[in-house]
């Protein structure tokens, strides 16, 4: 299947595009998105680091950043890393843009549509890390095909991650955690990094809790944190 065909067939991975009506300040913040949005109509540069105004030593991608809590924290914590954030939900993108308060970070680029479009556009072995935190679990069995972790997308991850690069996954739905483990176990490009039985219950050292995680804990669900390495 060609990249173009695959990109057209993936819009079902996410659900609704809009929530409540945006507040005036949120709506105005989208002027910043015009400056930070990746231009996928042009060929990707051979070096993904050149996508950023500031010089960077590494590039990471977060798929479905929600309100941007983790993305903003990582920008501050990793001053030599460029970040690409993908979020098709308009209200989530608005929260991130509003938090930036008009600032134009030289190490941030954004995409407000299907993440597979970015994955198919980026050059080979261009990412040092890829994060997928609390994606839609698509809990009904008939919807499992809409889960983002699947063989086609793992092929995409494997292509854009450098050898040794890490794919991090967090979820509060046990069935999706089991699903992700099986999918990655069956993919030759990924190795699960777990040294003990409690590894997947302990968040990463740089982890910033999100509102989705807080909601899960309030409702009695237990978060799980998985790390896979590109071999």
Active site residue 136: yes
pLDDT at 2 over 50: no
pLDDT at 141 over 50: yes
Q: Give the H/E segment covering residue 132.
A: strand 127-133
Cα–Cα distance, 201 to 225 (Å, whole number) = 6
What mean pLDDT, rounded, does the chain reach? 90
Q: Which of 28-32, 127-131, 155-159 has the lowest mean pLDDT?
A: 28-32
Cα–Cα distance, 201 to 178 (Å, whole number) = 14
Q: How confident is the model at residue 5 (pLDDT cuts 50, 70, 90)?
A: very low
pLDDT at 18 over 70: no
Candidates 174, 64, 160; CA nearest to 120 is 160
Condensed to tens digits (0 to 9), the pLDDT of residues 52-80 reads 999 999 999 999 999 999 999 999 999 99
DSSP code of residue 122: S
Task: List the domain boundaries for the chain.
Answer: 17-230
Catalytic residue among 104, 112, 124, 136: 136
Answer yes or no: are the C-beta atoms of 176 and 184 closer than 8 Å. no
Condensed to tens digits (0 to 9), the pLDDT of residues 160-186 reads 999 999 999 999 999 999 999 999 999
* Residue 142: predicted pLDDT: 84
**CATH node for 17-230:** 3.40.50.150
- Work out the average pLDDT over 27-45: 93
Q: Give how far Cα 115 sits from Cα of 23, 208, 209, Å.
A: 26, 22, 22
pLDDT at 45 over 80: yes
Cα–Cα distance, 204 to 167 (Å, whole number) = 12
Condensed to tens digits (0 to 9), the pLDDT of residues 82-140 reads 999 999 999 999 999 999 988 889 999 999 999 999 999 999 999 999 999 999 998 78
pLDDT at 13 over 60: no
């Amino acid at each position: 299947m060609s990249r173009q065909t695959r990109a057209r067939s993936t819009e079902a991975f996410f659900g609704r595009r809009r929530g409540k009506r945006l507040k005036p300040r949120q709506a105005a913040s989208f002027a910043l998105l015009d400056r930070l949005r990746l231009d996928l109509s042009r060929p990707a540069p051979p070096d993904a680091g050149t996508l950023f105004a500031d010089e960077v030593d590494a590039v990471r991608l977060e798929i479905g950043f929600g309100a941007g809590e983790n993305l903003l924290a990582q920008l501050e914590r990793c001053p030599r890393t460029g970040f690409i954030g993908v979020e098709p939900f308009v209200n989530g993108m608005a929260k991130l843009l509003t938090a930036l308060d008009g600032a134009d970070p030289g190490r941030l680029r954004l995409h407000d549509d299907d993440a597979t479009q970015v994955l198919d556009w980026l050059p080979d072995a261009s990412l040092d890390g890829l994060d997928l935190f609390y994606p839609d679990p698509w809990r009904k069995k008939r919807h499992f095909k809409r889960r983002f972790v699947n063989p086609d997308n793992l092929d995409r991850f494997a292509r854009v991650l450098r050898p040794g690069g890490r794919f991090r996954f967090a979820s509060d739905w046990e069935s999706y955690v089991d699903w992700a483990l099986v999918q990655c176990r069956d993919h030759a490009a990924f190795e699960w990094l777990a040294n003990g039985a409690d590894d997947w219950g302990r968040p990463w050292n740089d982890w910033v809790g999100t509102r989705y995680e807080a909601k899960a804990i309030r409702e009695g669900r237990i978060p799980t944190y998985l790390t896979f390495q590109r071999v």
